[in-house]
Amino acid sequence: MYGAMINAVLIILGTTIGMVVGKFLKEELQNQLVIAMGLCVIYIGIDGMLEMSSALNMLLSMSIGTLIGNIIDLDAMIVRLGDKIQQKFSSSSPIASGFVNASLLFCVGGMAIVGSIQDGLISDYSILLMKGIIDAVSAIVLAAKYGLGVYFSAVFVLIYEGLLSILALVISPILTNECIVQLSAVGSIVLLAVGLNMLNVIKVKPMNMVPAIILSAILIILFSI
């Protein structure tokens, strides 16, 4: 849990800096920074995909997981949550957009998954510390563009990574290195979709792909049995 808490604190720090300096950043510069971050996210996504251990697992988990995610419509659930938060504050900032985009960026990907698992299994939060520094820089840019909503993503990160760490303890007897590698690879594919969305190259709902990450580990366990 220490890693998740450190990550959340760094996001809050980055968001605060972004809220302060954001008014000094012109909209054009903000857009350029978002594009720059989008390119970095795409690179991280592609780099993580190369670690994939099973293409068949990827195809099955992405297709079935995305289908499940769209049926449940996780994206709409988070947007509604963001809208409820927005209604509680008299702000012109797009809180829902900031919350959704920041939560996706901070929670989906190899570093969040592997870092949380490592923190839960052997109490080593070094990966989440590095991720927190990256998230803090991203939060500065996101807060400058989206405003207050980025703060609430810190809570989402704390819950998400904290639950992953606890889950790692519970399922540690059946969690193999192959599971971790495949989880990271599929998560990186979803992260790639986030980056392409940031660049307005595609219009998808990456949050609805998130079930594929969990499904990839389940399929590896089932196939091994």
The pLDDT of residue 60 is 93
The pLDDT of residue 12 is 94
Domain boundaries, the chain: 2-224
CA separation, residue 106 to residues 49, 78, 122, 155 (Å): 17, 14, 22, 11
What's the average pLDDT block by block, 10 residues per block, for the chain (225 residues)?
Answer: 90 90 74 79 83 86 93 82 63 68 75 78 79 85 81 90 87 76 83 83 83 87 76
Cβ neighbours of residue 163 closer than 8 Å, sequence gap 6 or more: none
Q: Can you give the three-state secondary structure of 116-142, one letter per residue? A: HHHHHHHCCCHHHHHHHHHHHHHHHHH
